[in-house]
Structure 1
């Protein structure tokens, strides 16, 4: 499965953080703080799950945003 951004997840649906970091920073010309804020927002809304190591994220299925993380 390839996402609309052209990023294909690796094993178990994981997406290495650098696969989304580079396009966000260099193609979209965003800042590091904007990237961090966007990730935090997506995690809080239940759209993404970030691994404790910070090396990859996983897109969560629809419906996980019903119970956002506190």
Structure 2
């Protein structure tokens, strides 16, 4: 008997890919900055992900070199949006 449904973004890689996908749709401001709340709101409220999934996704995207997170945590930058670096499903 299965009591809970699988979470779409339980895997950090899945969350990271979705965050990068969302970041690509957001118009960056000064110096390519994307305010963290522009990613946070749709990820948490539209996609119904959790805060832990968001944090793990951001961390994974930074480790993979897809996003750069400012030390203040207030914004991210897409590091490389080329087809080679874009997080495509394997």
TM-score strictly above 0.5: yes
Runs of 4+ in 1 over 2 A off after TM superposition: none
Deviations 1:34-55 (A, max 9, x none): 0000000000000000000000
The aligned residue for residue 33 of structure 2 is 14
CA-based RMSD: 2.0
Normalization by structure 1: what TM-score? Answer: 0.79
**How many residue pairs are counted as aligned between the two chains?**
62
Structure whose alpha-carbon radius of gyration is higher: 2
Unaligned segments of structure 1, at least 5 residues: 65-70
Unaligned segments of structure 2, at least 5 residues: 1-20, 86-90
The aligned residue for residue 69 of structure 2 is 50
SS of the residue corresponding to residue 58 of structure 1 reads strand
Choose between structure 1 and 2: higher strand proportion: 1
Relative contact order (C-alpha < 8 Å, sep 6+): which is higher? Answer: 2
Deviations 1:15-69 (A, max 9, x none): 00000000000000000000000000000000000000000000001477xxxxx
